[in-house]
Structure 1
Amino acid sequence: MEFFLEVFIGGLLAGVMYALVAIGFVLIYKASGVFNFAQGAMVLFAALTFVSLLERGIPFWLAFLLTLVAMIVLALAIERAVLRPLTGRSPTTLFMATLGLAYIIEGAAQLFWGAQVHGLELGIDDVPLEIGGLLLSQFDLFAAATAALLVLVLSVLFNRTRIGLALRAVADDTKAAMAIGIQLPRIWAVVWAVAGFVGLVAGLLWGARLGVQFSLSLVVLKALPVLIIGGFTSITGAIVGGLVIGASEKVAEVYVGPIIGGGIENWFPYVLALLFLLVRPAGIFGERAIERV
């Protein structure tokens, strides 16, 4: 029983890492209806910028602040130069625009910082820590605490502030929100800036876990089943979806993998997401589309 709990809780903690990437998608999709495929490239750009500044002798917190500024500038530039001119276009057009942006951002990162692999140390050892007789990763516990703090801050921002109320109005009905005087470009700029900050946090944690390399941008693929299960419009759904994916893939790998073969955790999340699409396409916390005929 203790071994099962270790696997299950370890999976939950690992799922938080997926949820961090998914939150960036949710913020932008909720405000503008755009599935930002470039979020993975933004995670890579943040991690690569941060570690490159560290290697040049810049102190940790100054490197963090400079990277945060770079991510906000990048996010605002994307919103202003690319997505704002495409307002009103089809979702397919917007998706293809963000897909192209992903390659542009990756190319810019390689141009500025090079293509070599970097190690990133955050001062948190990825070693087991015994808690109540269970061995849990210190790094996963740190990542979970970071995600919990981030969700708390975002909840306060979007539920207790004027900007948050405006964002919810835009998400409910864009035209009605504009009719009552809400400035849509300003809301989009704030959301993209926050998404840039989320990308920075996710980039540092994933970079410390996997190393800072260009395959880091592929974590976007692991966020897809998280979004499908949790829902594209809910931050709570992103967290729950990440926990479901993290726990289920670890349990499946340990208990089902030996029966049907290893590597099950690489594809099991997509099987689970497919089942959700068949049963509940909007996800657990997603908003169901209502069509009037």
Structure 2
Amino acid sequence: MGFFLETLIGGLMSGMLYSLVALGFVLIFKASGVFNFAQGAMVLFAALAMARFAEWIPQWLGFESLLLANILAFFAAMAVMVATAWVIEKLVLGRLVNQEGITLLMATLGITYFLDGFGQTIFGSDIYKIDVGLPKEPMFILENVFEGGVLLSQEELYAALIAAALVALLSLFFQKTGTGRALRAVADDHQAAQSIGIPLNRIWVIVWSVAGFVALVAGIIWGSKLGVQFSLSLVALKALPVVILGGLTSVPGAIIGGLIIGVGEKLSEIYLGPMLGGGIEIWFAYVLALVFLLVRPQGLFGEKIIDRV
């Protein structure tokens, strides 16, 4: 039972991180109605900015405090992501208002390759380290209940708590603020939103900035665990099955979908792996997403769209 709980808790914490990345997809889709394939590249780009600024700023300003370097690097990286959002709106999205969804989709693919290449051009292509002080040592809990206790990663625990707090704040932002309601209105109908005075260009800058902030937090957490390298954008693609499972328009769906996939892939790897062979954790999420596309394509919490002719 103790080993099962270790696997379950590990899956929940991984799922929370998947949910954090999936939120970026949901935010962009809710505001523009397009699936943003650039979210994985944004995670890599933000993590590269954070890692390199944390290295450069102490050299520029002549101090050695790790905490101060991380704080300044975070705000510098956030400024880069906001500037990126502004450029994307001015040069790409602002010129594609009311275009077909496939046009916007191809635009995000172009943004993906640009960010991958541009990020490595200005920040470098080596493997970089992000050290924000998350504890690396594991700890044991429930030692009085199970023999030997339950092993828990402190780093994953803190990362999951940070992700959960950010998810909760974004949920409140969408449901309780005027800007959040404006974002939902823009997602429903661009032309109708413009007709009632909602500034579409400003809304898109805001939502890409928020998605950039989410990408930065996700990049810091994943970069702290795995190091900042090109494969980080591939890790972010694990969020694709999450949004398919939870629903493209649902923030709660991104959370639940992430937890289901995180737990499912861990349990399947441990308990089905010996029977089916290794590597289940790699493909489990995508097979589950395929099943949902066949049975419930709108996802668990997505809106079912009915076109009447």
Structure 2 counterparts to residues 122-137 of structure 1, below 5 A: 122-132=132-142, 133-137=149-153
Contact persistence 1:115–1:213 (CA under 8 A)? yes
Amino acid at match of 1:12: L
The corresponding residue for 1:216 is 232
Alignment deviations for residues 199-237 of structure 1 (CA, whole Å, 9 cap, x no partner): 100110111111101111112321111011011111111
* 1:26-72 per-position Cα deviation (integer Å, ceiling 9, x unaligned): 00001111111111111111111111111224311011111111111
After TM superposition, the structure 1 = structure 2 runs for residues 1-293 of structure 1, keeping only pairs within 5 Å, are 1-58=1-58, 59-132=69-142, 133-293=149-309
Amino acid at match of 1:140: E
In 1, the alpha carbon distance for the partners of 2:191 and 2:261 equals 36
In the aligned structure 2, how far is the partner of 1:18 from the partner of 1:84?
Answer: 30
What is the rounded CA distance, in whole Å, between the counterparts of 2:139 and 2:214 in structure 1?
Answer: 27
Residues 65-103 of structure 1: CA deviation (Å, up to 9, x unaligned): 111111111112112211121122222221111111111
Contact 1:12 1:246 in 2 (8 A): yes
Is there any run of 5+ residues in structure 1 with no aligned partner, and where?
none
Greater CA drift, 108-117 or 49-58: 49-58
Q: CA RMSD in A?
A: 1.3
Q: Secondary structure at the match of 2:42?
A: helix
Q: How many pairs are equivalent?
A: 293
Task: For 1:31, give the aligned amino acid.
Answer: A
Moved over 4 A (4+): none
Please give the secondary structure, in 1, of the residue aligned with 2:278.
coil
TM-score of the superposed pair, with normalisation by structure 1: 0.96
Unaligned runs of 5+ in 2: 59-68, 143-148
Matching residue's letter, 2:117: G
| TM-score with structure 2 setting the length | 0.91
Q: Take 1:204 and 1:138, find their aligned partners in 2: how far apart are those partners?
A: 16
Larger Rg: 2
Q: 2-side partners of 1:13 and 1:291: how far apart?
A: 39
Letter of the structure 2 residue corresponding to residue 52 of structure 1: R
Secondary structure of the structure 2 residue equivalent to 1:135: strand
Q: Is the 8 A contact 1:37 1:220 kept in 2?
A: no
Write out per-residue CA displacement over residues 107-138 of structure 1, whole angstroms, 9 at most, x where no aligned residue: 11111111111122221133322232322211
The percent identity for this pair of structures is 58
Q: Which residue of 1 aligns with 2:146?
A: none
Q: Deviations over 1:244-267 (max 9, x none)?
A: 110000000000001111111000
Q: Distance between the aligned counterparts of 2:183 and 2:53, measured in 1?
A: 34
